[in-house]
Amino acid sequence: MNHQISLLPRMAANNIRKNGQVYFPYIGVSVFAVFTYFVFDLIRKNDIMYTLPRAAYATVLVTIGFGLLGIIMVPFLYYTNSFLIKRRKKELGLYSILGLEKKHIGFMMFYESLFIYLVVVAAAILMGLIFSRLIFLLLLNLAKLPVEAEFTIKIGAVTDTLIFYAFITGLNLFVNLVQVGKSNPVELMSDTRRGEKEPRLIGIWSVAGLAALILGYRMAINARLDSTVFGAFFAAVLLVIIGTYFLFTSGSIAVLRFLKKRKGFYYRSENFITVSGMLYRMKKSAASLSNICVFSTMVIITVVCTVAVYLGMDAILSSGFSREFEIYFFGNDRVDGKVLQEGAAELAMQNQVILQDELAYSYVEINAYQEGDVLKTEGKPYDYSGWKSLKLMTQEEYNLLEGTEEVLRPGEVLFFSEGADFGRDSVMFEELEYPIRKELRESKIARKLPENEFADVYLIVFANREDLDKVCQIYAMDGFQNISYLYGFLPKGTQENLDHFSQELEAYVSGLAGFAQYVDHRDNMKEQESMYGGLLFIGIFFGSIFLICLLIIMYYKQITEGYEDQKNFEIMQKVGMGDGEIRRTIKKQIRMVFILPLIGAVLHTAAGMQMVYMLMGAIGFFEKELLAVCTLSGCMVFAIVYSLSYRRTSMAYYRIVKHMN
C-alpha cells in the first residue's frame, strides 16, 4: 500500500511528460494567464500609482482590467482543463482496469495538479519579477506619466496570485475527480471518443439562437450615445454570445440535417462524405467552435478599438478642448477685442510662442429646457439631456466670426446644433416663435457631432439686436448687460516658453476691463491623455489575452479531433477509399468547419461597430472614417493570422493521424 502511494508522485510526473502534447500548451497558457494577473496586481498595488500626477485614471482602468482578467481567466482555464481530462480518461480507465483503485487515481491526479501548480506559479512569478518594471514603464509611457518613477515589488500581489491560481487548480481538480469518480472503467475507456452531446429540440434552439442574434444585432445597430448605451452594450453582447452558441450547437446541425434529407444532393459522392463528416464534427465540436467565434470577435474588436484610440488621440482631445487657451470677459464694458488680441500677440512674440487657430466672438449665454421645438425657462432639474446651453448672437457678429455674408430678415434665425440636428422649421422661446431660415452644418464655435447625444450647445443667430433682446427678456435677462466675449487659440512652442507665456498672459488679461476667467486646458488635456493611455494599456493586454485564448482553443480542438479521427481514417481505408482522397475530404471538412467561426466573427464585428462607435463616443472619439478603416484592416489582418494559426494547429492534427497509418 505504502509502496503504491510512494509511486504515485513519479507516475504523475511521468504522465505529464508523456502527455506533453496536451499538457505543455495548457501549462504555457496558464503561465501566461497567471503572469498577466500577477503583473496587473503588482501595478495596481504599487504605492507609486497613487502618488504620480494624473495617475488616477490609469489606476482606475488597471483595477477594472484586473477584475475583468479574473472573470475571463477562471472559465477559460476551466474550459481548457476539460480538453485535458477528456484526453486522459482512456488512460485513467486503463489504470483502473489494471488494478489501481480510484482513490489512488485521485491521489495521482492531485500530484499532477500540484506539480503543474508549482511550475506555473514559479514561472509566472519569475517572469513577472523580470518583466513587471518593463510593463510598468509601458503603462507610464502610454499614460504620459513620469517614467523615472520607482517601482517596488509587493508581497500582497504574490499572495493574491498564489490564491487565485490555487482556486482555479482546486476547481479543475474537483471537477476532474467527480468525472472520474462517477464513471466506471469501461465508460472512461470509451469517453475519449465521445464528443459534445447533441442538443435536444434542435429546431427550437436554432430559432431561439437566430432570434437572439437578430435582437443583439438590432440593439447594436440602433445604438445611440445616451445614458442607456452601456447597459445596451452588455445586453447586446450577451444576446450575441447566446445566439452564437445556439446557432453553432443547434442551427448548424439543423442545416446539415436539412441537406442530408435532400436525397438528390446528399447521395453524390462529393457531398455524401462532406455533409456526413461535417455533421459528425458539428455534433462533437460545436461548443468549441462557438468559443472560437466569440474569442475571435473579442480579438478583432479589442485590437480595432486600441489602434483607433492610438491613431485618433489628437482628435479625441480636440473634441473636448477646441482651444488650449481660453479667455472670458463679461459685461457691456468689456475689453476691446482688437486690443486684447494685439496684447496677446505681443506677449507670444516675446516668449517665442506662435498663436494658431484664433477664435474671438461676442454672445449671450442662456440655459433653457427643450421640449420638442420649445426652449423653456423651466424644466426637470435632473434631466441633463433636456437642458441646453444657448449661445445667442447677432447676424453681424456671426458673419465676423465665420467670414460669411449671411442676410436675415427681422424675425428669422440661423440655427446650429453641436449634436444631432434640431430638425424643425421654427424654434419657440416659450411662446415666441422664430422661423429657422437655415440649419447650419458647421461652425467655428464647436465641432458638429450628430451622434453625440450628450452635446448641449445651440448657436442661434438673430437678424438684429432687437430680436436678440426680445428673447433675453423672456428668460429674465438683460442682453446688453450680460454679453460675454471669448478669445481662444492654440499656442505652439516649447514647454518652458508656453509656461512662461501662460503666466504673463494671465497676469495681463486679469487686469483688463470685464475680465471673467482665464483657462489653460493643458493640464486637463494631460489628464485625458493619461486616461486614454491607460485604455491603450488595457487594450494591448486584453487583445493579447484573447488571442492566446483563441490559439489554445484551436490547438486543443485539433488535438482532440486528431485522436478521435484515427479510427475514422482506418475505416474509410478499409471500405476502399484511397489515402489521397481521404486526406482531401478531411482537409475540406476541417477548412469549412474552421471558416465558420471566422465568418461569424466578421459578421459580429460588422454589426457591432455602430455600438462600439457610440461607446468610444463616450470618451470623445467621433472619427467614423478612421474607425471604419481600422475595422476593415483589423478584419483582414485577423483573417491572415487566423489562417496561419489554423495551418499551424492543423499540422498537429495531421501528425496524430499519420502516426497511426
pLDDT for 421-466, tens place per residue? Answer: 898 999 999 889 999 999 999 898 888 888 777 788 999 999 999 9
User: SS3 string of 85-119?
Assistant: HHHHHHHHHHHHHCCCCHHHHHHHHHHHHHHHHHH
The pTM score is 0.74
Least confident of 82-86, 95-99, 109-113, 131-135: 95-99
Would you say residue 36 lies in a domain?
yes
Cα-based angle 248, 305, 64 (whole degrees, multiple of 5): 90
* Residue 247 lies inside a defined structural domain of this protein: no
- Counting the structural domains of the chain, the total is 2
Residue with the larger pLDDT of the pair 340 and 250: 340
| Helix, coil or strand: residue 545 | helix
- Among 168, 194, 220, the domain-final residue is 194
Residue 435 lies in a domain: yes
Q: Which of 104, 58, 55, 8 is nearest to 541 (CA)?
A: 58
Identify the band that residue 495 occupies on the pLDDT scale cut at 50, 70 and 90.
confident
- 187 Cβ contact list (under 8 Å, min separation 6): 93
Q: Which of 194, 219, 250 is the last residue of a domain?
A: 194
Dump pLDDT digits (tens) for 259-296: 667 766 666 655 666 666 666 666 566 777 788 888 88
Cell of 478: 438683460
Would you call 45 helix, strand, or coil by DSSP? helix
| Number of Cβ atoms within 10 Å of the Cβ of 404 | 12
Looking at residue 278, its pLDDT comes to 62
Band the pLDDT of 661: cuts 50, 70, 90.
Answer: very low
Banded pLDDT at 617 (limits 50, 70, 90): confident
In a domain, 179, yes or no: yes
Least confidently predicted of 191-195, 245-249, 496-500: 191-195
Last residue of a domain, one of 167, 194, 221: 194
Helical spans, DSSP H, in 430-494:
465-474
Instruction: Round the average pLDDT of the chain to a whole number and report it.
Output: 80
Instruction: Judge whether residue 69 has pLDDT over 60.
Output: yes
Domain around 108? 1-194
| Residue 659, number of CB atoms within 10 A of its CB | 9
Residue 497 in any domain: the answer is yes
Query: For residue 4, how many other CB atoms are within 10 A of its CB?
Result: 13
Q: Does the residue 552 lie in any domain?
A: no
526 domain residue, yes or no: no
In a domain, residue 620? The reply is: no
